[in-house]
């Protein structure tokens, strides 16, 4: 709401009509937003307007038409492709990609993963809110670590030890300026070098769900 709806709808909710909603849809489409994301935003608009009607602030709500979304199954990596891509990844970024594939972590979750979230003794990691970030859904969860995921974290731990005092970050995978910003770049590069068709970052999560 704060990031996308309020900046666009600079008016009262009662002044939002079909034309305003269609203009919003066009602006989001122009920005390259995925259909599923846009439909989530449209669902939010519907909820706000419906709430206004229930409270008696609005007489009626305009028709909010969702966009058509392809039901095409998202591409994932096969078991063979997983290790081709990991072997082709740069040494400093392989642990990151390996952990994503074998835990199903989202991009935001791995970018905000801190060493305090990792429990080597019990072979689990915790996805939990930070002062500047909240995981999707808001609820913390615990993820068991298999041998591949555990190995990835050990490699990241060794890399931190090699950096020594230069690395004061609490992040497991720190970027050059704080949080990571180059996951897509390193994933695309690994796919290209491995001769594997590129996949989206979120496809690593789908890969985890399909193969595990």
Mean pLDDT of 11-24: 93
List Cβ neighbours of 51 (8 Å cut-off, separation of 6 or more). none
Only one residue has tokens 């122009």, namely 30
Residue 164 has pLDDT above 60, yes or no: yes
Residue 179 has pLDDT above 60, yes or no: no
**H/E segment holding residue 103:** helix 94-103
Give me Rg for the CA atoms of the chain. Answer: 21
Pick the residue with more confidence: 129 or 175? 129
Mean pLDDT of 179-203: 89
129 band by pLDDT with thresholds 50, 70 and 90: very high
Find, among 134, 97, 90, the residue nearest to 112 by Cα: 134
Give the pLDDT score at 63.
92
Residue 114 has pLDDT above 90, yes or no: yes
Percent of the chain with pLDDT strictly greater than 90: 74
Give the CA dihedral 142, 124, 95, 108, nearest 10 degrees.
Answer: 20
For 65-75, how does the pLDDT look when each residue is reduced to its tens digit (9 = 90+)?
A: 999 987 777 78
Strands (E) located in 15-121: 118-119
CB 116 within 8 A of CB 170: yes
Give the pLDDT score at 178.
46
DSSP state at residue 114: B
Q: CA-to-CA distance for 185 and 124, rounded, in angstroms?
A: 28
Within 13 A of 95's CA, how many CA atoms are on the CB side? 17
* pLDDT, the chain, mean: 92
Q: What 3-state DSSP class applies to 135?
A: coil
């Amino acid at each position: 709401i704060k990031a996308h709806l309020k900046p666009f709808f600079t008016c009262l909710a009662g002044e939002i009509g079909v034309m305003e909603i269609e203009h919003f849809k066009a602006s989001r489409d122009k920005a390259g937003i995925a259909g599923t994301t846009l439909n989530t935003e449209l669902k939010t608009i519907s909820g706000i307007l419906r709430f206004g009607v229930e409270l008696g602030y609005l007489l009626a709500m305009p028709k909010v038409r969702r966009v058509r979304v392809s039901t095409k199954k998202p591409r994932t990596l096969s078991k063979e492709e997983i290790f081709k891509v990991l072997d082709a990844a740069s040494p400093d970024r392989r642990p990151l990609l390996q952990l994503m594939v074998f835990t199903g972590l989202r991009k935001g979750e791995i970018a905000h993963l801190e060493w305090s979230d990792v429990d080597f003794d019990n072979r689990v990691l915790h996805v939990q809110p930070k002062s500047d970030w909240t995981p999707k859904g808001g609820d913390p969860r615990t993820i068991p670590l298999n041998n591949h995921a555990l190995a990835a974290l050990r490699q990241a731990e060794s890399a931190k030890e090699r950096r020594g005092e230069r690395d004061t970050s609490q992040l497991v995978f720190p970027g050059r300026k704080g949080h990571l910003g180059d996951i897509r770049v390193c994933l695309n590069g690994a796919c290209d070098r491995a001769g594997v068709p590129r996949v989206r970052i979120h496809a690593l999560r789908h890969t985890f769900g399909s193969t595990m």
